Structure 1
Amino acid sequence: MNNRRLYLALPLVLGLSLSAGLAPASSADRYSAKPPATATLADGLLSPLSLAAGRHGLYVTQNFAGILNKVKSNGAPKVVRSSGGSEVGSVPPPEVGSVSLYKDTVYFSEGAGGMDGQPNEQWIKSLDNHRKASPQKIADIAAYEAKRNPDGRITYGFRNVRDQRCLDQIPEGIPGKYQGQVDSHVYATAVDKRSIYVADAGANAILKVDKRSKRVSTVAVLPATYVRITAVLAAGMGLPDCVVGEKYYLEPVPTDVEFGKHGWLYVTSLPGGPEDGSLGALGRVYKVHSGSGKVVQLASGFSGATNLAVSSRGDIYVAEMFGNKISVVKKGYHKPRTLLEATAPGALEIHDNRLYATTHALPDFTGPTPPAGKILKIKLR
């Protein structure tokens, strides 16, 4: 998994060369009501992939710059943490992300390495909102992943194909069948009085850190999403005829975790694989019980579900980074509708009946384009 590609797609198991895929969502799927009123609070941000909003302020991470900002009332971002930047063109700084607030303490992740061959460290840290003290280390999630590897016994790829001669015909670069790998990338946190819940996009798991003991444990491993290989898909990818009709299981990649009621956590999942729509919109929203680890699917059909926010009445808002929209799943329903079209939305938070969202969160790696990330404030009805 490449550190500079958000860790959003694990090994590109089904390639990006597919041209024959599902059609994009039609306008009939769009939310029929008038788009909500929005205001831009800040702009010029580089990869704003995480937000936290509360009575102690609004925080945003610029992940690839290794920066945590507090957004002032005039919209100016104030740096409250920098992981140690480097000169342009040299080794990038450790990524800063996964920001959360609990009372007057800011929690975030800081880390680097992993599938890029570098040593993997993924620290959960805290910072007092009122003091200029240094961040406090809480737990190294990557160390837990290296020791436990929660999805290590789960088979991905062509799980049910047992003919090795068939697997040997699969093109290089597409893993035919493999177990969950040792890799950690903390992508989101949710914090309460006793615990820090972690969406680890590398481990494919929801984890829990006990604040007092610093002990890390596994809450749940998300279920793999599968794609059935048709003759058209097989021809486009150069796959052998022996896998036509078989299921290819994708890594689930959790990208956010938020609190619900009665011990439930709400989680977005962006399955590892191409995000060009060639395999359809495979993103999911689950609820995971923080005590039992039970996983229940709530909604599907998202294109790049990178974040969510849950309103007080139970509506679920989802950032679809590769669908270029923010969707809503109304309480009691399972089908998402478009709330607002937005370019590459990355993170969502709700505070005081306002939905805060980052857009243009995916940087343009093709040229020297200046950072274009924004924070929007959206009035909810």
Structure 2
Amino acid sequence: MRFRTLAASTAAAALAITLTSGPALAHPGHHGHGHGHSSPPTSRVVDVADGLISPLKVAFGLRHSYLVAESMAGMLTRIDANGHRRTLVSAPGKEIAGVSYRGGTTYFTQNDQPANPEEPPSTLLPAKVKTLDSRGHMRTLTDLSTFEERRNPDGRTVYGVRKISKSCLAQAPFLQSRGEVYSHPYSTAPTRHGVYVGDAGANDIVYVSHRGHVQLVRTIPAEPIKIDDSVVAAAADMKMTIPECAKGLTYWMQAVPTDIEVRGNWLYYSVLPGAPGEELGHGKVYRTHLHSGRTQLLASGLQAPTGVAVDERGTVYVSELFGNRISRLGQHRTTTVSTPTMPADIEVSDHRLIAVTEALMPTGKLVKMRVW
């Protein structure tokens, strides 16, 4: 099961259905390998706009404006400093996400949706990376479903329990699978000659040139957890029964990239492990050197990290959708910047931090604050 679990929850929330968060939310995750929390100097949080529909992604736009992907409404909205809105893209029935901006060009992703978002699509659906220039001309850079169908980079990866007896697996076949052919681009990070894209369905990060050529950057490795009582309970909430013979075994979760940022030679990305695990506090933030491939773990124990941002000094911020927290990651200490409800995404520039909050509620907001 992949990112569609979160997408399905979003669709339900857009209809004002209560999101079941589970008991794990009562336990704070631990960031930065266990270092403590404190609060940094910040200005008060200012509401820029409210009443947004599933605002899952945000970016700084032109002339102090903001770009918000109202994902399940199929809209890309520009909001000026006074809160006035203009719809840039309207694609009813599609999911708009992955919004970013560079040099007069807006980048975003547009995913076709299955008839039933809670079920796997019966066919491979279009998963497009698109651009919108300053004159309003829209262009499709690529349809990543084509790349996924041809390459399926995680196709040989065994997810679930890798070492299990045949008799135990027969009791719960869902405990083991291989990477399916599925594409769901969800985040973008533009550069001079193209754009990095985090594919939350394919579990990878690719680079798309301005000519539409797609190159694999990194397949996100599966994340291991031990099947304990919390995992059994999470599976039960999803109507899946884990047999006693599987308790204590290692389960390799699908590691879903939820957001990406590029700063210098480093690619930063947040990971939300797939079911079971979205709400169990197994989220992480990594960075990978684009030339050497060296990867570093920056934070762990996060509750659905769906937004990561890096400022001009290299300071990393992360938003936890189910942890109700925006944090600044330090080498020795993690500091809490703000504690909004359901912050889905963040961006930071020149000590200005923006966030989309209450993202899975009918009262979705765009907020801003200053950080030092």
TM > 0.5 between the two? yes
User: In the TM superposition, what is the alpha-carbon distance from 1:313 to its structure 2 partner?
Assistant: 2.2
Query: Among residues 252, 256, 265, which one is paired with 1:253 in the alignment?
Result: 256
* Cα deviations by residue, 1:205-247 (Å, 9 ceiling, x for unpaired): 01111113x1112101112112112367558854333323210
* Cα distance in structure 1, aligned partners of 2:84 and 2:205: 33
What's 1:376 paired with?
367
User: In the TM superposition, what is the alpha-carbon distance from 1:255 to its structure 2 partner?
Assistant: 0.5
**Contact 2:352–2:371, Cα closer than 8 Å, also in 1:** yes
* Cα distance in structure 2, aligned partners of 1:232 and 1:104: 47
Query: Compared with structure 1, are the counterparts of its residues 77 and 127 closer, same or farther at alpha carbon in structure 2 (3 Å cutoff)?
Result: same
* Cα distance in structure 1, aligned partners of 2:309 and 2:230: 37
Q: Which residue identity does 1:351 align to in structure 2?
A: S
Query: Among residues 80, 86, 92, which one is paired with 1:78 in the alignment?
Result: 86
User: In the TM superposition, what is the alpha-carbon distance from 1:250 to its structure 2 partner?
Assistant: 0.5
Q: Which moved more, 1:28-37 or 1:195-204?
A: 28-37
Q: Which has the higher helix share?
A: 2
Q: Does residue 263 of structure 2 align to residue 272 of structure 1?
A: no
In the superposition, the TM-score normalised over structure 2's length comes to 0.85
Query: Among residues 161, 167, 170, which one is paired with 2:169 in the alignment?
Result: 167
* Cα distance in structure 2, aligned partners of 1:310 and 1:58: 17
What's 2:75 paired with?
67
User: In the TM superposition, what is the alpha-carbon distance from 1:118 to its structure 2 partner?
Assistant: 5.2
What's 2:222 paired with?
224
Q: Please list, as runs of the form range in 1=range in 2, the aligned pairs for 1:89-104 lying within 5 A after superposition.
A: 93-104=93-104
Aligned sequence identity (%): 35
* Cα distance in structure 2, aligned partners of 1:21 and 1:5: 16
Query: Compared with structure 1, are the counterparts of its residues 336 and 224 closer, same or farther at alpha carbon in structure 2 (3 Å cutoff)?
Result: farther
Structural RMSD (CA)? 2.8
User: Residue 144 of structure 1: SS of its match in structure 2?
Assistant: helix
- The gaps in structure 2 that reach 5 residues or longer are 11-18, 115-119
* Cα distance in structure 1, aligned partners of 2:217 and 2:252: 21
**Contact 2:69–2:97, Cα closer than 8 Å, also in 1:** yes
**Contact 1:2–1:116, Cα closer than 8 Å, also in 2:** no
Greater length-normalized contact order (CA 8 Å, ≥ 6 residues apart) = 2
**Contact 1:158–1:247, Cα closer than 8 Å, also in 2:** yes
* Cα distance in structure 1, aligned partners of 2:155 and 2:363: 38
Q: Please list, as runs of the form range in 1=range in 2, the aligned pairs for 1:1-381 lying within 5 A after superposition.
A: 5-6=6-7, 24-25=27-28, 30-33=37-40, 36-56=43-63, 57-83=65-91, 85=92, 93-113=93-113, 115-117=120-122, 119-129=124-134, 131-133=135-137, 135-161=138-164, 163-170=165-172, 175-212=174-211, 214-230=212-228, 238-261=241-264, 263-274=265-276, 277=279, 280-330=280-330, 332-333=331-332, 336-363=334-361, 371-381=362-372
User: Residue 253 of structure 1: SS of its match in structure 2?
Assistant: strand
Query: Compared with structure 1, are the counterparts of its residues 151 and 18 closer, same or farther at alpha carbon in structure 2 (3 Å cutoff)?
Result: same
**Contact 2:55–2:364, Cα closer than 8 Å, also in 1:** yes
User: Residue 38 of structure 2: SS of its match in structure 1?
Assistant: coil
Q: Which moved more, 1:268-277 or 1:37-46?
A: 268-277
Query: Compared with structure 1, are the counterparts of its residues 292 and 234 closer, same or farther at alpha carbon in structure 2 (3 Å cutoff)?
Result: same
Q: Which residue identity does 1:39 align to in structure 2?
A: V
* Cα distance in structure 2, aligned partners of 1:322 and 1:120: 28
Q: Which residue identity does 1:64 align to in structure 2?
A: M
Q: Which residue identity does 1:6 align to in structure 2?
A: A
* Cα distance in structure 2, aligned partners of 1:120 and 1:336: 40
* Cα distance in structure 1, aligned partners of 2:248 and 2:146: 39
- The gaps in structure 1 that reach 5 residues or longer are 10-15, 86-92, 364-370
In the superposition, the TM-score normalised over structure 1's length comes to 0.83
* Cα distance in structure 2, aligned partners of 1:4 and 1:244: 23
Query: Compared with structure 1, are the counterparts of its residues 347 and 209 closer, same or farther at alpha carbon in structure 2 (3 Å cutoff)?
Result: same
Pairs aligned (count): 348
Query: Compared with structure 1, are the counterparts of its residues 241 and 119 closer, same or farther at alpha carbon in structure 2 (3 Å cutoff)?
Result: closer
Query: Compared with structure 1, are the counterparts of its residues 98 and 32 closer, same or farther at alpha carbon in structure 2 (3 Å cutoff)?
Result: closer
User: In the TM superposition, what is the alpha-carbon distance from 1:290 to its structure 2 partner?
Assistant: 2.9
User: In the TM superposition, what is the alpha-carbon distance from 1:276 to its structure 2 partner?
Assistant: 7.0
User: Residue 126 of structure 1: SS of its match in structure 2?
Assistant: strand
User: Residue 314 of structure 1: SS of its match in structure 2?
Assistant: coil
* Cα deviations by residue, 1:279-326 (Å, 9 ceiling, x for unpaired): x31111011233454433221111010011112222211110001111
* Cα distance in structure 2, aligned partners of 1:217 and 1:26: 34
User: In the TM superposition, what is the alpha-carbon distance from 1:184 to its structure 2 partner?
Assistant: 0.9
**Contact 1:275–1:322, Cα closer than 8 Å, also in 2:** no
**Contact 2:344–2:355, Cα closer than 8 Å, also in 1:** yes
* Cα distance in structure 2, aligned partners of 1:329 and 1:252: 21
**Contact 1:66–1:82, Cα closer than 8 Å, also in 2:** yes
* Cα distance in structure 2, aligned partners of 1:362 and 1:46: 8
**Contact 1:166–1:243, Cα closer than 8 Å, also in 2:** yes
